[in-house]
Amino acid sequence: MSRIASFHLVRGRSAVRTLAHLGSDRVRLRSVDGLAFWRLLGTGRDDDTAPSADLRRSALFAVWDDESALEAFLASHPVPQRWGSAEEAWHVRLRGVGGHGRWRGVAVLDQLERGSGAGPIAIITRADVRLRSWRRFSAAGRPVSDEVRSAAGLLAVVGIGEAPVGRLGTFSLWRTLDDARSFASSMPHHRDVVARTRAERWYGEELFARFEPYAASGSWGGRDPLADVARHDG
């Protein structure tokens, strides 16, 4: 069977507990059967993709050997069992649609079950920002964040990061792939930043990955953004 991925966004009831779990869960996830790749992540405030921090919210991105491995994890592992008592949690399964790059040296898109690009699209961007480029990256982040939040076809977006400085990214949901492409090609600040990252070599490593999101559950900001699409299209 082909691999699948999943993304989990969890708002805890206190910043102290959320930060503690970011540390302790790293130990718990090391021995999960069928878990091929994972990263625990902090998140930005609300839908802000510029450098910021919401200390009560965290995320998990994971790649699974198959769907049954994810099912077993959700059914019995202490980490997802705790999510049930969180203030809010949203979960989605992901099939690969395309992209390029690596995540800490790992080609996370390899061997993923192939998904459809015909419906809603999830996109993960992440980069290891070189220390010498951090100030320029941070300064460029605010206008790009404003553009993203106003983009046509955006369903939801969250800033994600493995570290407060240097290892940041985004997880976003779009109504269609064309909407995501239109944003990338038409927004001037975004186009300028993409050009500068290449010309000035801001990143030591980067990943741009597209997914088909399916089997979502829970809520993100009080709603399931993918359910909104289903109601509109239905």
Backbone phi, psi, residue 131, to 5°:
-55, -40
| Local confidence band at 97 (pLDDT 50, 70, 90 cut-offs) | very high
| Local confidence band at 96 (pLDDT 50, 70, 90 cut-offs) | very high
User: Of 232, 216, 13, 207, which Cα lies nearest the Cα of 110?
Assistant: 207
First to last CA, the chain: 31
pLDDT (0 to 100) of residue 204:
87
Per the structure, the complete domain to which residue 17 belongs is given by 4-233
Q: Is the pLDDT of residue 165 over 70?
A: no
Q: Is the pLDDT of residue 232 over 70?
A: no
| Local confidence band at 234 (pLDDT 50, 70, 90 cut-offs) | very low
Please indicate, yes or no, whether the overall pTM of this predicted structure exceeds 0.75.
yes
Q: Is the pLDDT of residue 43 over 70?
A: yes
> What average pLDDT does this structure show over 184-213?
83
| Local confidence band at 21 (pLDDT 50, 70, 90 cut-offs) | very high
Which of 6-10, 21-25, 127-131, 188-192 is the least confident region?
188-192
- How many domains does the chain contain in total? 1
CA 44 to centroid of chain Cα atoms: 11
> What average pLDDT does this structure show over 179-190?
78
Q: Is the pLDDT of residue 206 over 80?
A: yes
The predicted-structure confidence for 54-83, as pLDDT tens digits, reads as follows 999 999 999 999 999 999 999 999 999 999
CA distances from 53 to 42, 162, 168 (A): 7, 12, 11
The mean pLDDT value of the chain amounts to 90
CA angle 184/105/207 to nearest 5° reads: 5
User: Of 210, 209, 124, 199, which Cα lies nearest the Cα of 168?
Assistant: 124
Pairwise CA distance, residues 185 & 182, whole Å: 5
The predicted-structure confidence for 107-163, as pLDDT tens digits, reads as follows 999 999 999 988 999 999 998 888 888 888 877 777 778 788 888 899 999 999 987
What is the CATH number for 212?
A: 3.30.70.100
